[in-house]
Structure 1
Amino acid sequence: MDNVFINDSDDEFEDENPEDRNLWRLAKRYIRNWENPIEFFEDIPFRKRYRFSKRAVIEILLPLVNAQLRRLDNRGLPISPLMQLLVTLRFYATSSFQIVNGDLRGFSQATVSRIIVRVSRIIASHLSEYINFFTEEKRRSNKNKFYEIANFPSIIGCIDCTHIRIANPGRNYGEVFRNRKDVVSGSQREILDIVVRHPGSTHDAVIFDRSGLRCRFDLGRLDGILLADSGYACRSYLLTPVLRPETDAEVRYNTAHKKTRIIVEQLFGCWKRRFPCLYYGLRTKLSTSVVIICATAVLHNMCIKCNLGEVIEEVFNEPIIENIVNREQDGIGLVHRNAFILRHFS
């Protein structure tokens, strides 16, 4: 026998008051009512967890991403731009698993992954604004500040590579695509140029040879000198140390070179200390890792430009690797270097 619905009431179902029906309807559960870290943490604990002060997050970082993250309606209970920014900063500051990062805020791992990619792309899109050789006035300022370190003239930057651990991409890239990033440092440990596209198996000098920075020097669009270790080819605009100094002038040159070039190693330590995800490694896919590295580079320069201070509670020992092979022993670059030593260090 088929089930038959019998309405014993005098009133028809269609005549019910819609407001009465809302009384027995289950209320929607809002699972994202977690505490706001801006209100929950004091200033110092907040900065330890997010690497920026509350004021910097609200006044500097949030306007950078707010326009592209803001939703015009509340459909689907969207995560606020502020919370997306904080989730991404927390990932940069801890390099924890995304599922753990999500559990702290009540988000799924997939949601955290999408947030990190989305926010990192927005921040990395400002790369040309915050990472460049600036104006002629800025380069002149860099020369003066570098000269104050060890009396080494005409220096506008120091160049070197650093390793950033990444997840094994697998397939044909497993062995070759180990990580290496080419970076040029300014006198305030800011990043002036960065190349992220080469695998770690690529030699430092090859990365520089294929960079746009070398083209600008070769075309005469940049004036000044870069300092590099012996893994790079000596050029008129890129000076390397003397491998076997024989004269007092060469010893003085090497001493000044080492004292000045150490600033790029300090940059790597400061950068990775501020964003430990670069030190402990990235477990994201290759394209996302590149975006994250660029985004943290932008944030690092932003900290220096806005004088936001450094994170000092953790110390990472960035290994200093001295390459001892000079790739251009008899080239014109060495002739220029010898003349430079005679002119400035004799």
Structure 2
Amino acid sequence: MEYAVIAAVVAGAVQNLLESSDDDSSDDEDFIYCFGNRAGQNIIPRIENYVETTVFRMTDETFKSHFRMRRDTFEFLINLLGPDLQKQSAQYGRHPISVEKQLLLSIWTFATPDSYRSVCDRFDVGKATAWRTIWKVVKSIYNYLPVYIKWPTPEEARITSNYVYQRYGFPNVLGAVDGTHIKIAQPKEYHASYINRKGFHSIQTQLVCDHKLKFIHAYCGEAGSVHDARVFRLSHLQDYCTAEYFPDDTHLLGDKAYSIQPCIMVPYRNNGNMSRECIQYNMIHSSSRMMIERANGLLKGRFRSLLDKLPFKRTDLIPYYVITCCILHNICILRDDLIEIPILVNHEIPTFDVDVEVNNAIKVAGMNKREQIKFFINNL
């Protein structure tokens, strides 16, 4: 229900944006100015009929290397999104381009750090056309948020729990949670609040994944200065911390940025005198939690624009772009469309131990549960 409401909101927001924009709109100019100033300013001659003469002749291997997905996954997206994209093109009626070209242009934008100018030249379209195309595709994909990013069923939770326990030795794991910072251009308003502890502007994204590296919850939009523990509360994930969503005494694994509670197991603080049992617990916890690091690395390795500074000053639109990439990530995983990427070393913003916004009784219950798990791990 929560995702369905959000999807409806973004559909309306993006539609209003598209309907109100024209070639001279300030939104277009902001986007074009910022996107046009990404890395790579060399003037590139336009490529005529790139889609028709080059893309459709690519080998499957070359296609996947360029667009970060198999050709059959792309064809699946054409069938999934085609009717809506055709409807939108007819509605706005500005020299509509084919559904295939709309989707190829957008996926290329998601998947590469290419400058906006380079994207326009490659696909032989004007700047405003490319801008509208990307946001029409974002809107269309975002409508599928509740279909492709959803909380696991009890059976799915058991499968993840069994997998993690058998492979790493940590019991009752439903998934892992972590935050990541998405670099952005300096926003027009409240820009100081978007400066994180490393000194650059960013937007927080919180991701929860299962053992397949599929996202089961995704939240994006808080300013870079907001702490992970507060993002957790604002994401409404705290509201999920009930037996209905965490059956069979399951829990998420989080790092020290999160407050311990029965639904989130975190490592013991290292005060310099940890016991052997605590060290063993932390080691197994870290190995088990690595799946969220891998999922985040796979997301950014596939959609490499997320590794670069996103070129939008409209901070209200950035979350939809990021979550759209998460939806595509899940579609690829569900279709066994994997890519080989190196495991990215985590250079995220350093976190600090916190005790934030958790009822003391809940915290004590979480600490007691962790003690039981520590005993279990050390007595296998």
- The reply to whether TM is greater than 0.5 is yes
Q: Is 2:231 the counterpart of 1:207?
A: yes
Q: Is 2:308 the counterpart of 1:280?
A: yes
Q: Which residue of 2 aligns with 1:226?
A: 252
Aligned residues: 314
Percent identical pairs in the alignment equals: 24
CA distance in 2, matches of 1:67, 1:44: 28
Q: Is 2:83 the counterpart of 1:50?
A: no
Q: Is 2:76 the counterpart of 1:70?
A: no
CA distance in 1, matches of 2:345, 2:275: 33
* 3-state DSSP of counterpart to 2:206: strand
Is contact 2:175-2:253 (8 Å) kept? yes
The letter for the 2-side match of 1:212 is H
The 3 A distance-change label for structure 1 pair 35 and 320 is closer
Task: Select the structure of larger CA radius of gyration.
Answer: 1
**Match of residue 334, structure 2, among 280, 305, 315:** 305
CA distance in 1, matches of 2:207, 2:51: 39
**Match of residue 369, structure 2, among 290, 311, 336:** 336
The 3 A distance-change label for structure 1 pair 146 and 321 is farther
C-alpha deviation, 1:219, in angstroms: 6.4
The letter for the 1-side match of 2:369 is H
C-alpha deviation, 1:322, in angstroms: 5.6
**Match of residue 254, structure 1, among 275, 278, 282:** 282
CA distance in 2, matches of 1:315, 1:279: 14
* 3-state DSSP of counterpart to 1:156: strand
Gaps of 5+ in 1: 1-30
CA deviations 1:32-63 (Å, max 9, x no partner) are: 755424423222222121112222211x1111
Is contact 1:272-1:316 (8 Å) kept? no
CA deviations 1:183-214 (Å, max 9, x no partner) are: 11211111111110211111111111222221
Where in structure 1 do 4 or more consecutive aligned residues deviate above 6 Å? 72-75
Q: Is 2:119 the counterpart of 1:89?
A: no
Q: Is 2:203 the counterpart of 1:179?
A: yes
Is contact 1:204-1:232 (8 Å) kept? yes
CA distance in 1, matches of 2:70, 2:268: 44
Q: What are the equivalent positions in structure 2 for 1:59-208 lying under 5 Å apart?
A: 60-70=76-86, 77-176=95-194, 178-208=202-232
C-alpha deviation, 1:231, in angstroms: 1.2
**Match of residue 270, structure 1, among 273, 276, 298:** 298
C-alpha deviation, 1:335, in angstroms: 2.9
CA distance in 1, matches of 2:230, 2:142: 25
Is contact 1:150-1:259 (8 Å) kept? yes
The 3 A distance-change label for structure 1 pair 136 and 258 is same
C-alpha deviation, 1:141, in angstroms: 0.6
C-alpha deviation, 1:317, in angstroms: 4.0
The letter for the 2-side match of 1:342 is F
Q: Which residue of 1 aligns with 2:57?
A: 40
* 3-state DSSP of counterpart to 1:175: helix
CA distance in 2, matches of 1:174, 1:67: 42
The 3 A distance-change label for structure 1 pair 318 and 246 is closer
* 3-state DSSP of counterpart to 1:52: coil
Is contact 1:250-1:345 (8 Å) kept? no
* 3-state DSSP of counterpart to 1:232: coil
CA distance in 2, matches of 1:218, 1:87: 42
**Match of residue 240, structure 2, among 193, 205, 216:** 216
C-alpha deviation, 1:175, in angstroms: 3.4
* 3-state DSSP of counterpart to 1:287: coil
The 3 A distance-change label for structure 1 pair 196 and 188 is same
CA deviations 1:248-286 (Å, max 9, x no partner) are: 322221111010111111111111000000011210232
CA distance in 1, matches of 2:348, 2:109: 27
